[in-house]
Amino acid sequence: MKAKIRVTLKTGVLDPQGKAIAGALGHLGFGGVGEVRQGKYFEIELAETDRARAAEQVKAMCEKLIANTVIENYEIELA
């Protein structure tokens, strides 16, 4: 089983990298670009075959390491 995890900054947390990307898009001539928020994407291969147990395991991974829950949210997709 594979876990796909998206980590994003919580609403309200300043994202200077997103701002820089928005600026660069402007320099390239892309009009109409609003706020840009940058996140992270992870794919983790798991030996676990039980969906519920895998979900629990990946949630623990996110809480303990993958995301810093002070400033980041995470979404898990199992495939």
Partner 1 sequence: MKSAVVVFPGINRERDMMLALESVTGAKPVSVWHAETELPRVDLVVVPGGFSYGDYLRCGAIAARAPIMQDIKARAAKGLKVLGVCNGFQILTEAGLLPGVLARNKNLRFVCRQVKLKVENNGTFFTNRMEKGAVVSCPVAHGEGNYICDAETLKMLEAENRVVFRYAEGTNPNGALNDIAGIMNGSGTVIGMMPHPENMIEPLHGRTDCRPLFESLLAA
Q: Which stretch binds partner 1 (CB under 8 A): 25-33, 43-51, 54-62, 67-75?
A: 67-75
Choice between 27 and 64, CB closer to partner 1: 64
Q: Which stretch binds partner 1 (CB under 8 A): 24-32, 47-55, 58-66?
A: 58-66
Choice between 26 and 68, CB closer to partner 1: 68
Report the C-alpha gap between 5 and 75 in whole angstroms. Answer: 6
- By CB under 8 A, the residues from 11 to 50 that bind partner 1 are 13-14, 16-17, 19-20
Report the C-alpha gap between 76 and 79 in whole angstroms. Answer: 10
SS3 32: coil
Choice between 28 and 65, CB closer to partner 1: 65
**54, amino acid identity:** A
Specify the DSSP element, H or E, that contains 24. helix 16-27
